[in-house]
Amino acid sequence: MGLKIFSLMKQVPVANEMRMGSDGLMDRTKAKSIINVDCTFGLEQGLQIKKSVPDAELYVVSMGPPSFEQSLKKAISMGYDHAVILSDKRLGGSDTFATGLALATMLKSKLISQDPNDKFIIFAGRQTSDGDTAHVPSQVGENLGIPQATFVEKVEYQGDHLQVVRMIEGGHQTIDIPIPCIISVAPTAIHARRPSLVGAINAREAKVTMYGLDDIGLETTFIGLNGSPTVVSNVVDIEHTRQKVVMLDGETPSDKVNNLSKIFSNAVQTAKSSAKEKTEIKPTEKANEFPIVDFRKGASGILTWVEMTGGQISKSSLEILNPARRLADELGTKVISVLIGDNVASFANQVIGHGADEVVVVNDERLKEYSILPFTSTIAQVVKEKKPEIALFGATTSGRELAPRLGSRVKAGVTADCTSLKIGTYVNKRLKSTFSPVLESIRPTYGESKLATIIGFWCPQMATARPGTFESLPFDNERKGIVTEFTPNLTDADFISKIVNTERKEVGGQALFTADVIVSGGKPCGDLDNFQGIRDLVDALKEQGIKAEWGASRQAVDRGFAPYARQVGQTGKTVRPKIYIAVGISGAIQHVSGIKESGKIIAINIEKKANIFNAVDYGIIGDYVKVMPELIKMVKNGYTFGLKKSEDIK
Amino acid sequence: MKKQIIETDVLIIGGGPAGLATAIHLADLMMKNVESNGESAPVKLPYKIMLLEKGGEIGNHSISGAIINPIALKELLPEISISDMPFESEVKKDEVHYLSESGKITSPFTPPYFGNHGNYLASLGKVTKWLAGIAEKKGIQIYAGFNGSEVLYENDKVIGVRSGASGIDKHGNPMENYQPATDVLAKIVIFAEGSRGSLSKTVINKFQLAKEKNPQIYSLGVKEVWEVPEGNIEEGYVAHTLGYPVDSTQFGGGFIYGLRKNMVAIGFAVGLDYADPTFDTHHAFQIFKKHPFVAKFLKGGKIVRYGAKTIPEGGYYSIPKLYADNMMIVGDTGGLVAMPSLKGIHLGMKSGMLAAQTALSALQNKNSSAQQLSMYEKLFNDSYIKTELYPVRNFRQAFEGNLYTGMLKFGAQLITGGRGFGSEKLSVKEDYKHYRPLKSFNDNTFMNKMKDELSFDKITTFDKEMDIFYSGTNHDEEQPSHIQIVSTETCQTCLEEFGAPCQRFCPADVFEIVEDTKSNKKSLTLHPSNCVHCKTCDIKDPYQNVIWNTPYGGDGPEYGTM
Ligand SMILES: Cc1cc2nc3c(=O)[nH]c(=O)nc-3n(C[C@H](O)[C@H](O)[C@H](O)COP(=O)(O)OP(=O)(O)OC[C@H]3O[C@@H](n4cnc5c(N)ncnc54)[C@H](O)[C@@H]3O)c2cc1C
């Protein structure tokens, strides 16, 4: 039997050179292109399999213009054997649904052997830097009818199956997943190897196999701009404004620090991102030119999925009840929440109290822990019965894989990681129609530099919402709703992946991406107390229920005061916490470039001329040894920089 | 996974002007007698030519002035007219100034060997990128992003070069993403690594190619490219300066060139034979930019790129023997730079063409012994490389230690055809032997004298950290340090004696002396990822305690337009 590895790869423009045309589609002509960074992790996992299966054949697979050849060849220089690309003008404008379908069709018709003894594994990156959706792996998996695992950090080949470790909210899960399968790899997995010279020589000779739609026998019904269930209707720039630094003065360190309590008072929720909408690329069009079309065809209701994590309703599931409620009121319809688990009926009241009208409870001991296949089947059956017009999910590691897989199954488009949801109208000049009402799903994209509005035309209109952007509605004891039971029809095929182990606890540097507060130290913090003050402040914040993490400047990492995983800046991590506190950091441009998208930045430095003060909102001139204890004391007394405590962490 | 082995006929290490000219000329000579089938690409060459360049792309590591004498380019590419070459401008105005602290004295005439009539201003990175495009079309295999990390020998003869492994952690252990090395075996290896090539250095030592020669001596050139408001400078304008801020014990000066589209190339180069351990070329350059004569060109503009590189300037007597069995040396790494005009591009290219000619007859004769390759030396001696270098063979030596006596001595050389009054061959000592102990300066050091000038406004003047950002340099943090310290104990001796000049001579803040706040003990911390590959540390460390190796291929600066 032969094993084939297919690694899905996309070529993208270098992040800071990215431009988008006024049509909302990428203008790839100007920027230098590279392999999408997340995809390199998928490529590496493919190469890792070769260690267990030396004669595995490695294919790098892509969809895009012929100019992708450069990146396909790069994959060969890393060690891939073959390169294949689906390239056809008619594919232009395809959304993730269409992309997933097209890739799957090519794999099925051209690459996957008909012989059942031949096995294959598909690897993919988590998401692309020019789309950020993370949908395609789920959609390819669904179209091929194979199991999947996403956000995977470790892969072990164990013969007829893979044992993978995937990130889940607040921890990790180990899953045995049978081959064939599709695995999307997290950027915390093994870093991609560099090309070897021998590989580069092979790449020079290698021929890239190119297929068009006709070769793979795919009709244009479901692909390209017209076949895609979603379109980008509007794009605006996000401007990150940072005013000149405000220095916090005072006689003593304690006076200086106490100023903070006036700025980020605990009483109000502040520290929203300083993002501001700048230019409207597309002027809003007149809505009444064309006849109004209601494409819902009787679909109604807003469905949400209530995710259970560790025996609790996940915070983000309560959050999405807020926009769901608002949208339902606007449309005059109801919120239907699906609650799946083992013995979860008792949670229904909580869901109603936070905004639902109806809770569909699915009780099954096999559904105690979330798992993609049975959950997709279950919700798909609920969707079929309830015919909602909109379906919303928290953009957790589960929601972000479940929604697109479900979308492919029920034929609906999904918008990922939204920060705003509205009801609006959409004018389509070509079809001479005004679609109304439509769900406008608004999300940051292109490395948080733009806000895109995305519209779906097939019901349910699906979206995942970024955790932390919506506030859950206060629990209302009085709210009334109905609770119904639902028994889905699940087969053995839904349970072919086995959860081996689920472990929830925060880990290392990865947490920097999700922390609300990051306290970073520079070299002096290492010299003076080996980062104790930094860590103490973080611990104090955690005790207050704040998602806090500590980071370090490169100088500090170079000197061994912190592991590289915690390095913040150009060569480390780019972070976006609500509050960033830079302590004893000189403010090298390299560091600043990695923190500039943070909500508010506070710098503490003994040098009043330190460069860091040119790049932050608030500055405290003072000695680390004296300032930190004051700050820690304040936090211990309950001060949290105006941030709400998060229930998710303990 | 095991290392991989591949073979080629000719392997060229380094994609600068010298290496690319070698490759292009060799391909042209090979194809001279082959009927062209009318199609341009891809050409199948009768012998394989492979070129490795450590920069991620050709041009990434190219840095120069540059004023190019077009003689070699014309000869290399006779079918291409000058107007189609990627030059910025012809040199239109050519000035030399002596700068005092606040004023300038303009030389009423251009001193001998300084003249630039008929030369062209260019960004070397653009030129090498363009040459690489031509080379690719001629069927040459260029692999950018791959270093030559080690020379391979058999029976004490060069047989090829290893391109290093990657995926190795800081301590030298292979990681999960380990990618093994590739050994390239070649009939002939041509070293074109530029100034102080790390592989050339080892072969020169191993085969004693520099025996009975003067040691090579160097300058360090630091440079910035600026975009300035319209009207600040004219396209084609050239100014060279002597004097401020270096004193008369030092050999050095600045350059300011007006490029296309209001771009300015500005830089400062100082001989590394200085004695003051606190001297800092980067800082001297920043101070230079504050001089009113210089500042006016930059006013209102912004920096685009920064870089630094050493220049071998020992001249004729410092050139090692340029060949041995199966190998030749071309360009800067062989010391082929004409002084005082500081030009090496045309000489490097010409040497490459001569090496190409030699290589082809060696391949045809199936013999690449030193004896066969000695043809290179004969061609060299009959070429304009020799005619340019020989008359100024004692130029740089004359300036060792003092600018004024240097000028007098050079004057004498001009009259006597290069010999000067004294011995035929003036000797020099290695740059690192020039330091004097810190104490002997009685605080009269560069750092002290310039104390008040060392604040950088981050508008026209920058600290190293900021400049490095503009070099675009980037290194994988997960790799063994490519800058190797032979003995950390020596660092302690050096600290006492010289106060660790590595902190000063490095234009990229790779070396940092850190004091432990508790024990007050000072020690060296390395930041190899800042490195811009200038090689100064390998040259100027007083104890030769630093060895520069190649980092992973593709790492390093991203110049492009330098
Ligand atoms: C500031 C400055 C100003 C100058 N001004 C002028 C001027 O005006 N006119 C003039 O003619 N000359 C000038 N020069 C000198 C000129 O730039 C050099 O003589 C010329 O670049 C030499 O060409 P080369 O090909 O020998 O070396 P380089 O141009 O240095 O190219 C060598 C290449 O080899 C690569 N390489 C090195 N080692 C390895 C390895 N182990 N493996 C793989 N690749 C490797 C390097 O990355 C580099 O790309 C100046 C130099 C400087 C620094």
Q: Is there a single domain that holds both residue A192 and residue A246?
A: no
Compute the distance between CA of residue B256 and CA of residue B472 in angstroms, rounded to an integer: 22
Q: Which chain B residues are within 8 Å of A40, Cβ to Cβ?
A: none
In the block, residue with structure tokens 């690719």: B136
| Number of other residues whose CB lies within 10 A of the CB of residue B185 | 15
Q: Which one of B53, B193, B222 would you pick to mutate in the ligand 1 pocket, going by the greatest count of ligand atoms within 8 A of its CB?
A: B193
Determine the pLDDT at residue A219. Answer: 87
Least confident of A205-219, A507-521, B58-72: A507-521
pLDDT band at residue B2 using 50, 70 and 90 as cut-offs: low
- Cβ of B67 closer than 6 Å to ligand 1, yes or no, is yes
Query: Which two tokens mark B42?
Result: 């891809």
Residue A24, pLDDT above cutoff 60: no
Ligand 1 in reach of B15 Cβ (< 6 A): yes
A173 with A26, same domain: the answer is yes
CB-based contact (8 Å) between B517 and chain A? Answer: yes
Report if residue A649 sits inside a domain: no
Asked if B145 has any chain A CB less than 8 Å from its own CB, the reply is: yes
Q: Are residues A379 and A482 in the same domain?
A: yes
- Asked, for residue A648, whether it belongs to a domain, the answer is no
**Using a CB-CB distance cutoff of 8 angstroms, which residues of chain B are in contact with residue A195?**
145, 179
pLDDT band at A579 (very low <50, low <70, confident <90, very high): very high
Q: Is the CB of B499 under 6 A from ligand 1?
A: no
Give the integer Cα–Cα distance in Å for B300 and B232.
9
Of A644 and A9, more confident: A9
- For residue A258, the SS3 value is helix
Q: What is the pLDDT of residues B503-559, one digit of tens each?
A: 999 999 999 998 887 788 999 999 999 999 999 999 999 999 999 999 999 999 999
**Contact list, A201 vs chain B (CB under 8 Å):** 6, 141, 143
* Confidence check: pLDDT of A510 > 80: no
- For residue B103, pLDDT over 90 is answered with no
Residue, of A597 and A90, whose pLDDT is higher: A90
Residue A574 is predicted with a pLDDT of 77
A194 alpha-carbon distance from chain centroid: 26
Residues of A in contact with B525 (CB under 8 A): 558-559
Average pLDDT of chain A is 88
Whether the Cβ atoms of residue B483 and residue B510 lie closer than 8 Å to each other = yes
Ligand 1 centroid to B331 CA: how many Å? Answer: 8
Residues in chain B closer than 8 A to A193 (CB atoms):
166-167, 177-179
User: Could you tell me the pLDDT band of residue B498, with boundaries at 50, 70 and 90?
Assistant: very high
Interface test with B, best of A197, A207, A523 (most B CBs within 10 A): A197
List the one residue out of A72, A45, A139, A151 whose CA is nearest residue A100: A139
Cα–Cα separations (whole angstroms), residue A44 to A86, A103, A136, B176: 22, 20, 18, 10
Residue A18 in domain = yes
Structure tokens at A107: 């794999």
Query: Residue B275: pLDDT above 80?
Result: yes
Atom of ligand 1 lying closest to residue B67 CA: 8
CB atoms within 10 A of CB A486: 16
> What pLDDT does A286 receive?
53
- In this prediction, residue A648 carries a pLDDT of 44
Three-state secondary structure along A491-552?
CHHHHCCEEEEEECCCCCHHHHHCCCEEEEECHHHHHHHCCHHHHHHHHHHHHCCCCEEEEE
Residue B113 is predicted with a pLDDT of 72
Interface test with A, best of B179, B509, B526 (most A CBs within 10 A): B179
Distance to chain B for A191, nearest Cα, Å: 7
CATH of the domain at A587: 3.40.50.1220
Please tell me the least confidently modeled range out of A281-290, A568-577, B345-354. Answer: A281-290
Residue A322, phi-psi category: left (phi > 0), alpha (psi -120 to 50), beta (remainder): alpha
Tell me if residue B32 falls in helix, strand or coil: coil
B5: three-class secondary structure by DSSP: strand
Q: Which atom of ligand 1 is nearest to the CA of B309?
A: 53
Q: Which amino acid is at A148?
A: Q
* Ligand 1: nearest atom to the Cα of B149: 41
Check: CB of residue B20 under 8 Å from CB of residue B71: no
Tens-place pLDDT, residues A344-379: 999 999 999 999 999 999 999 999 999 999 999 999
Q: Measured between beta carbons, which residues in chain A are less than 8 angstroms from residue B469?
A: 588-590
Place of tokens 């012929």: A66
Share of chain B above pLDDT 90, in %: 83
For B63-67, what is the mean pLDDT? 96
pTM of the complete model beyond 0.90: no
Categorize the per-residue pLDDT at B496 as very low, low, confident or very high, splitting at 50, 70 and 90. Answer: very high
pLDDT above 60 (res A25): no
B96: pLDDT strictly greater than 70: yes
C-alpha dihedral, B38 to B44 to B46 to B47, nearest 10°: 140
Q: Is the CB of A197 less than 8 angstroms away from the CB of B163? A: yes
Q: Is the pLDDT reported for residue B28 higher than 60? A: yes
Interface residue B525 vs chain A (CB under 8 A): yes
Q: How many domains does chain A have?
A: 3
pLDDT the model gives residue A276: 47
A248: containing domain: 242-275+506-636
Would you state the pLDDT for residue A283? 45
What distance in angstroms lies between residue B197's CA and the mean position of ligand 1's atoms? 10
CA separation for the pair B149, A468 (Å, rounded): 50
Q: Does B372 touch chain A if contact means CB atoms closer than 8 Å?
A: no
CATH code: domain of residue A90: 3.40.50.620
User: Is pLDDT above 60 for A22?
Assistant: no
Q: Distances from the Cα of A445 to the Cαs of A450, A452, B39, B482, in angstroms?
A: 5, 7, 46, 38
Mean pLDDT for B135-142 is 96
Q: Is the peptide bond before A116 cis (omega within 30 degrees of 0)?
A: no
Query: Do A478 and A466 contact (CB within 8 A), yes or no?
Result: no
Check whether residue A266 and residue A158 sit in a common domain.
no
Q: Determine which residue's CA is closest to atom 20 belonging to ligand 1.
A: B345
Report the complex ipTM. Answer: 0.92
Instruction: Note whether A545 and A627 are same-domain residues.
Output: yes
Q: For residues B217-226, give the mean pLDDT.
A: 98
Output the CA B312–ligand 1 centroid distance in Å: 10
Structural domain contains residue A642: no
Cβ–Cβ gap B552/A589 under 8 Å: no
Identity (one letter) of the amino acid at A457? Answer: F
Residue A193 confidence class, pLDDT cut points 50, 70, 90: very high
Quote the crossing angle between the two packed helices B345-364 and B17-31, to the nearest 10°: 40
Same domain, A396 and A467: yes
Pair A269, A282 in one domain? no
- Among A554-563, B77-86, B289-298, B404-413, name the one with the lowest average pLDDT: B404-413
| Pairs from B95-99 (Cβ < 8 Å, separation ≥ 24) | B95/B237, B95/B238, B95/B239, B95/B240, B96/B239, B96/B240, B96/B241, B96/B242, B97/B239, B97/B240, B97/B241, B97/B242, B97/B293, B98/B241, B98/B242, B98/B243, B99/B241, B99/B242, B99/B243, B99/B244, B99/B254, B99/B288, B99/B291, B99/B293
- Quick one: CA dihedral A518, A522, A528, A530, positive or negative? positive
- Please state, in angstroms and rounded to a whole number, the distance separating the CA atoms of residues B377 and B483: 34
How far B160 CA lies from chain A's nearest CA (Å)?
Answer: 14
Residue A239 has pLDDT above 70, yes or no: no
- In terms of Cα–Cα distance, which of B269, B221, B227, B253 is closest to B95? B253
Distance CA B192, CA B135 (A): 15
- Grouping H, G, I as helix, E, B as strand and the rest as coil, residue A433 is strand
Q: Do A142 and A156 share a structural domain?
A: yes
Query: A228 falls in which pLDDT band (50, 70, 90)?
Result: confident
Last residue of a domain, one of A501, A533, A566: A501
Q: Are B368 and B188 spatial neighbours (Cβ–Cβ below 8 Å)?
A: yes
Interface check for A44 against chain B (CB to CB < 8 A): the answer is yes
Question: Which tokens go with B390?
Answer: 């020989």
> Who among A44, A200, A571 is closest to B143 (CB)?
A200
Terminal-to-terminal C-alpha distance of chain A: 49
In a domain, A646, yes or no: no
- Which distant-in-sequence residues (6+ apart) come within 8 Å of B278 by Cβ? B438, B441, B445, B446, B447, B448, B499, B501, B504
Structure tokens at A70: 């450069």
- E strands of A384-432, at which residues? 390-394, 414-418, 420-428
Could you tell me the two tokens for A33? 């292109």
Structural domains in chain B? 4-77+127-213+320-392 (3.50.50.60), 395-425 (no CATH)
How is residue B94 written in tokens?
Answer: 């050519």
Structural contact between residues A553 and A580, judged by C-beta atoms closer than 8 angstroms: no
Q: Quote the pLDDT of residue A203.
A: 96
| Residue in B closest to A78 by C-alpha | B179
Q: Does A240 score more than 80 pLDDT? A: no
**Facing A196 at nearest CB: one of B52, B179, B516:** B179
Give the pLDDT of residue B5. Answer: 96
A197 vs B516: CB contact, 8 Å cut-off? Answer: no
Which residues of chain B does A588 touch, with a Cβ-Cβ cutoff of 8 Å?
465-466, 469
User: What confidence score (pLDDT) does residue B42 get?
Assistant: 56
Residue A386, domain member (yes or no): yes
Has residue A641 been placed in a domain? no
DSSP state string for B158-203: EEEEEEPPEEE-TTS-EEEEEE--EEEEEEEEEE---TT-HHHHHH
**What is the rounded CA–CA span in Å between residue A111 and residue A59?**
9
Among A501, A527, A548, the domain-final residue is A501
| A54 assigned to some structural domain | yes
**A282 and A257 within one domain:** no
DSSP secondary structure letter of residue A569: S
A51-60, B249-258, B400-409: lowest mean pLDDT where? Answer: B400-409
Ligand 1 lined by B267 (C-beta under 6 Å)? yes
Taking alpha carbons only, the member of B348, B338, B319 closest to residue B418 is B338
Please tell me which of A27-31, A608-612, B167-171 the model is most confident about, judged by mean pLDDT. B167-171
- Both A510 and A433 in a single domain? no
Q: What is the overall mean pLDDT for chain B? A: 93
Q: Is the CB of B311 under 6 A from ligand 1?
A: yes
Residues 6+ apart with CB under 8 A from B540: B218, B220, B272, B431, B432, B501, B505
**Which residues, in sequence order, are CB contacts of A439 under 8 Å at separation 6+?**
A327, A389, A390, A421, A422, A423, A455, A456, A461, A463
How far apart CA A135 and CA A177 sit, in angstroms, is 19
Domain boundary among A501, A528, A552: A501
Tokens found for residue A352: 């109603």
Closest CA to A556 of A606, A593, A604, A520: A520
Measured N-to-C along each axis, helices B17-31 and B124-137 cross at an angle, to the nearest 10 degrees, of 20
Pocket test for ligand 1, best of B332, B341, B471 (most atoms within 8 A of CB): B332
Q: How confident is the model at residue A96 (pLDDT cuts 50, 70, 90)?
A: confident
Burial group, residue B497, by CB count within 10 angstroms (0-12, 13-18, 19+):
middle
In this prediction, residue A260 has a pLDDT band, given cuts at 50, 70 and 90, of confident
Mean pLDDT of A531-553: 94
pLDDT band at B110 (very low <50, low <70, confident <90, very high): confident
Inter-chain contact B179–A195, Cβ cutoff 8 Å? yes
Is the pLDDT confidence value at A553 over 60?
A: yes
Contact of B174 with chain A, judged by CB distance below 8 Å, is answered with: no
Per-residue pLDDT tens digits for B441-478: 998 999 999 999 999 998 999 999 999 999 999 999 88
- Give the three-state DSSP class for A149: strand
Least confident range from A174-178, A189-193, A506-510, B283-287: namely A506-510
Tell whether A494 and A510 lie within a shared domain. no
State yes or no: pLDDT of B36 exceeds 70: no
A323 shares a domain with A204: no
Query: Of the candidates A194, A198, A571, which has its C-beta nearest B6's C-beta?
Result: A198
